[in-house]
């Protein structure tokens, strides 16, 4: 008791005793001090946990990738509710596609593949890359404004995911963090990517790199140490297969080549495992890893089959789904394309303008598909990485082979006639005849160049690693990544999306909106978000004959036979917009008067359109 009294007197507080059960009593001051001490301990532990969370490499990677993506794609966030990147064609189509699952799944999941567009065709959701992997985002928000915010956020998010995936892959392969930083920036923001700044499905490359990183980690594989049996992680292997399945669910424009790359790598790994078994008479892989691979491969196969099934129905219904060699040649780049940047590249766009004009004028190719420049800094670091690198010589040779073979295939039939390159894939591999844009294989070239460049940066860091000024060295090694990032900035425009005309919002469906053309149909698709009125309009590389037939008959109004055809097809409204780029046939409809129409057609005039309402059969 004397001890407690002395403690209380030191604080100048009276001694108050409180019963605490069998332990006797403690002074109030001591109890306060103990409580404060416990609080400090808790706060200290929380502070340490927070530091571990935010200073771990993975956490820094995620936060850094998000910040970098926001900086590089800031206009997409600044005007997220009113604009889309680059143009009003593909981004509006994809904004519509990203909204459809959230509308139809709660109502009738069986109708997922049958959208309200391209009436009366079925499986219209499979006419292009459905990006079904992003379907969970479609449940947030309603209407066109939510659709714009959704797609703009995803345009930023896919850049961050590409950075994370490439960084994780190269780091797993054995690179230092500055080398992996360079690889992540190059893979996510190379000038080539801005050729597709309006194609969310083509920018969605992060799942490819991230799946390969998880699979390598799960199998204990790296370029620096090969296969390490003690570092096998079955959970990571299963995660890699799940990420790969998610990537396939986005679409086959990138998913089909990814499928064949995975198949090739699995074949090589299987051959190596068989050779090891023959040599050592035991399985080189633990049973848990084999189980994870089997389960993951099965899930991957099921998702792939689910995505392929509607495409097979389309091929049966529309034989023209198979791309002609002439169409593939139109979208195929030439060897000069690898050194020409897109117009919206901040540093190279204006410089390469004469080269782009010459290339397009000489070959008549689609401009977005023939500008494949990877960036001068990445090329320089990759070339140095061939000579000076932490990767073994066989790794560098394999990467060079991958770059050269991908470059040959990316040129389609323009490379030596394509007979023994792209045409071999076109003629013999299932699904390859539905791919019209070989230049998108550029992503594999970028990835291989990034790995070579990371090897060079890591080798430089290793050579200078014993220098006591390590912080200064680390800062110097970040410079290549910064230069690649600066070279990867863009001037991508963000046009404002026009609001839906009142006539379109209130038209009875199924409807046809004129003009009906490739540049305009995406707007009509987007305008139906939230109301989902069945409409003939739809935009895709595959245009069903029914759409052309319905449009042709609509242009013949008030012809009785044409009206009868439209009614038999189920069309209820033909909306002719006044202020759009109408051709002469469509403009003639604006002058058709009510007295000229059959009794089955009613003419409604509004400030923005003339609508012909057809009585149902």
Question: Considering its fold, how many domains does the chain have in total?
Answer: 3
Range of the domain at 78: 72-114+123-487
Q: Which of 154, 165, 172 is nearest to 244 (CA)?
A: 165
Cα–Cα distance for residue pair 560/349, rounded to 1 Å = 53
SS3 613: strand
496 occurs within a structural domain: no
Same domain? 434 vs 360: yes
CA 589/CA 586 separation, integer angstroms: 5
Predicted TM-score (pTM) of this structure: 0.88
Residue 65 lies in a domain: no
468 and 513, same domain (yes or no): no
Q: Hey, how many other C-beta atoms are within 10 angstroms of the C-beta on 62?
A: 15
Neighbouring CB atoms inside 10 A of 256's CB total 19
**Residue 86 within a domain:** yes
Do 408 and 471 share a structural domain?
Answer: yes
Integer Cα distance of 444 and 254 in angstroms: 10
Q: What is the pLDDT of residue 1?
A: 42
180: part of which helix (H) or strand (E)? helix 177-189
End position of a domain, from candidates 487, 519, 537: 487
Chain-centroid distance of CA 226 in Å reads 30
Same domain? For 413 and 265 the reply is yes
- Cα gap 556→146, rounded to integer Å: 38
- Classify each residue of 440-479 as buried b or exposed e, where b means 16 or more C-beta atoms within 10 Å of its C-beta: bbbbbbbbbbbbbbbbbbbbbbeeeeeeeeeeebeeebee
Pair (365, 229) in one structural domain: yes
The whole-number pLDDT of residue 21 equals 46
> Does a structural domain hold residue 398?
yes
Residue 128: DSSP 8-state: S
Cα 495 to Cα 498: distance, rounded to the nearest angstrom: 9
Residues 109 and 216 in one domain: yes
For residues 468 and 610, state if they share a domain: no
Mark whether 577 and 443 lie in a shared domain.
no
Helix (H, G, I), strand (E, B) or coil at 486: helix
493 in a domain, yes or no? no
Sign for the pseudo-dihedral over CA of 278, 282, 283, 285? negative
Same domain? For 164 and 303 the reply is yes
Cα–Cα nearest to 379, from 298, 474, 452: 452
Residue 369: closest CA among 162, 188, 202:
202
342: its two tokens: 């897109």
Amino acid 9: pLDDT = 43
Q: What is the DSSP letter of 335?
A: G
How far apart (Å, rounded) are the C-alpha atoms in residues 253 and 79?
28
* Successive 10-residue mean pLDDT values, the chain, 617 residues: 42 46 56 63 58 68 95 94 94 96 94 95 91 94 94 97 97 94 97 94 96 95 87 94 97 93 89 76 79 95 94 83 81 90 92 84 64 95 96 95 94 77 87 88 96 95 71 80 95 95 93 92 96 94 87 94 95 93 87 91 93 93
Please check whether residues 521 and 548 belong to one and the same domain: yes
Last residue of a domain, one of 435, 463, 487: 487
Which domain-ending residue is among 487, 515, 550?
Answer: 487
Give the separation between CA 442 and CA 337, rounded to whole angstroms. 11
Residues in the chain: 617
Say if residue 392 is in the same domain as residue 247.
yes
14 and 81 both lie in a single domain: no
CA separation for the pair 477, 364 (Å, rounded): 42
Say if 462 falls within a structural domain: yes
Assess if residue 432 is contained within a domain. Answer: yes
Is 94 inside any structural domain?
yes
Which tokens is 54 given?
């935010």
């Amino acid at each position: 008791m004397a001890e407690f009294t002395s403690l209380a007197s030191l604080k100048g507080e009276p001694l108050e005793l409180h019963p605490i059960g069998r332990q006797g009593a403690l002074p109030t001051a001591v109890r306060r001090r103990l409580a404060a001490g416990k609080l400090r301990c808790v706060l200290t532990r929380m502070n340490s946990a927070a530091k571990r969370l935010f200073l771990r490499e993975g956490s820094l990677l995620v936060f850094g990738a998000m910040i970098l993506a926001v900086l590089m794609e800031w206009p997409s966030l600044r005007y997220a509710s009113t604009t889309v990147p680059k143009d009003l064609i593909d981004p509006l189509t994809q904004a519509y596609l990203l909204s459809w699952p959230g509308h139809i799944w709660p109502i009738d999941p069986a109708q997922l593949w049958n959208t309200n567009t391209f009436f009366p065709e079925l499986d219209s959701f499979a006419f292009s890359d459905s990006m079904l992997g992003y379907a969970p985002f479609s449940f947030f928000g309603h209407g066109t404004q939510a659709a714009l915010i959704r797609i703009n956020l995803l345009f930023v998010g896919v850049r961050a995911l590409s950075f994370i995936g490439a960084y994780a892959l190269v780091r797993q392969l054995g690179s230092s963090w500055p080398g992996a930083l360079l690889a992540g920036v190059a893979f996510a923001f190379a000038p080539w990517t801005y050729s597709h700044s309006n194609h969310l499905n083509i920018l969605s490359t992060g799942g490819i790199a991230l799946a390969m990183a998880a699979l390598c980690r799960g199998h204990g594989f790296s370029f620096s140490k090969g296969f390490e049996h003690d570092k096998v992680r079955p959970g990571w292997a299963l995660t890699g297969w799940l990420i790969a399945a998610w990537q396939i669910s986005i679409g086959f424009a990138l998913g089909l080549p990814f499928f064949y790359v995975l198949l090739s790598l699995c074949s090589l790994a299987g051959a190596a495992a068989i050779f090891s078994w023959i040599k050592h008479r035991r399985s080189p892989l633990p049973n848990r890893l084999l189980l994870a691979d089997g389960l993951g491969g099965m899930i991957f196969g099921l998702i792939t089959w689910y995505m392929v099934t509607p495409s097979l129905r389309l091929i049966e219904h529309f034989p023209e789904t198979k791309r002609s060699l002439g169409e593939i040649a139109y979208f195929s780049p030439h060897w000069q394309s690898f050194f020409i940047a897109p117009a919206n590249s901040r540093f190279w766009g204006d410089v390469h303008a004469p080269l782009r004009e010459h290339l397009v004028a000489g070959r008549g190719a689609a401009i977005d598909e023939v500008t494949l420049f990877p960036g001068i800094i990445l090329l320089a670091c990759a070339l140095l990485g061939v000579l000076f690198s932490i990767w073994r010589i066989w790794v560098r040779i394999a990467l060079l082979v991958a770059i050269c073979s991908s470059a040959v295939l990316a040129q389609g039939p323009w490379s030596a006639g394509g007979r023994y390159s792209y045409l071999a894939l076109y003629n013999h591999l299932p699904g390859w005849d539905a791919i019209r844009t070989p230049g998108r294989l550029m992503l594999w070239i970028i990835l291989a160049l990034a790995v070579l460049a990371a090897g060079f940066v890591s080798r430089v860091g290793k050579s200078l690693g014993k220098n006591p000024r390590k912080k200064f060295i680390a800062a110097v090694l970040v410079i290549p990544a910064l230069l690649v990032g600066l070279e990867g900035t863009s001037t991508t425009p963000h046009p404002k999306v026009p609001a839906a005309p009142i006539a379109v919002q209130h038209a009875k469906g199924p409807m046809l909106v004129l003009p009906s053309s490739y540049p305009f149909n995406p707007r009509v698709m987007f305008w139906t978000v939230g109301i989902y009125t069945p409409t003939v309009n739809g935009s895709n590389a595959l245009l069903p004959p029914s759409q052309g037939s319905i449009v042709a008959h609509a242009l013949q109004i008030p012809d009785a036979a044409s009206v009868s055809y439209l009614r038999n097809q189920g069309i209820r409204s033909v909306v002719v917009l006044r202020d759009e780029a109408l051709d002469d046939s469509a403009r003639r409809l604006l002058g058709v008067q009510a007295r000229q129409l059959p009794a089955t057609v009613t003419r409604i005039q509004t400030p923005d359109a003339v609508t012909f309402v057809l009585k149902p059969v």
